[in-house]
Amino acid sequence: TILIDAGMGGLDILGPGFGRMGAGLAAAGVAPADVDTVVVTHLHPDHVGGLLADGAAVFANAELVVAAVEAGFWTDAAMAAQAPAEAQGRFQLAGAVIGAYGDAVRLVEDGADVAPGLRLEVSPGHTPGHSVLRIDGGDRQMLMMADTMHSADLHTAMPDVGFGFDTDPAQAAASRRRRFDMASADKMLIAGSHVHFPGFGRILTSGDAFRYAPATWI
């Protein structure tokens, strides 16, 4: 049982209505102890807050997989020291997550096959080690784009527009265009962490621009 990211858990940072991953897993009949692997796309609080409860690992039996460059950035004491005050909490949480999972943390490089049919590819800019996941289902492929785009409509129409939490907006835009080109050329189903309901769709080309087509919900 593989989980991609873990939401924000009990963190109260985006207002009411968030942090429901645990309830969602329970509704699907999955207990935290059932999860074998958690793959982290990046170490922002709204993706890893749900990995901890009272400072302890929620998924005690799971291996935690994260890009080495991502973990290296957020656990770099010198980098944290020069970060602005509003970013200090992100460094602290990332360090706490890595520390809580200890020997169960597996750091991987770009292009690593983290499980059969699941490949992690670093797509930097939003964070230094922000990653997307290519899911190979044989005759069906899907790309989990994580935070490659935050507004499907805005970022497909204007892919060079930055986002306030991007570490490097220009690099994020370049990564976005590269993933859009790939997804549209291969007609891949895509998912994203901040894509509106139903959360799945396709990136299509429209002249020299892109557009997002949500998957039909039946």
- The mean pLDDT value of the chain amounts to 93
Cα 123 from Cα 51, distance rounded (Å)? 22
pLDDT band, residue 218 (cuts 50/70/90)? low
Cα separations in angstroms, 43 against 91, 94, 95, 187, 207:
9, 6, 9, 29, 35
In this prediction, residue 164 carries a pLDDT of 83
Nearest CA to 193 out of 161, 163, 151 is that of 151
Residues 20-77: tens digit of each pLDDT:
888 899 999 999 999 999 999 999 999 999 999 999 999 999 999 999 999 999 999 9
For the chain, the maximum distance between any two Cα atoms, rounded to a whole number of angstroms, is: 51
Residues 153-162: tens digit of each pLDDT:
999 999 999 8
In this prediction, residue 70 carries a pLDDT of 98
pLDDT at 13 over 90: no
Cα 178 from Cα 184, distance rounded (Å)? 10
Tokens read off for 27: 């509704």
Residues 127-141: tens digit of each pLDDT:
999 999 999 988 889
Question: Mean of the pLDDT values across residues 68-96?
Answer: 94
Q: What percent of the chain has pLDDT over 90?
A: 81
Q: Can you spell out the DSSP letters for 6-26?
A: ---TT--SS-TT---HHHHHH
In this prediction, residue 16 carries a pLDDT of 77
Dihedral angle of Cα 146, 148, 151, 154, to the nearest 10 degrees: -160
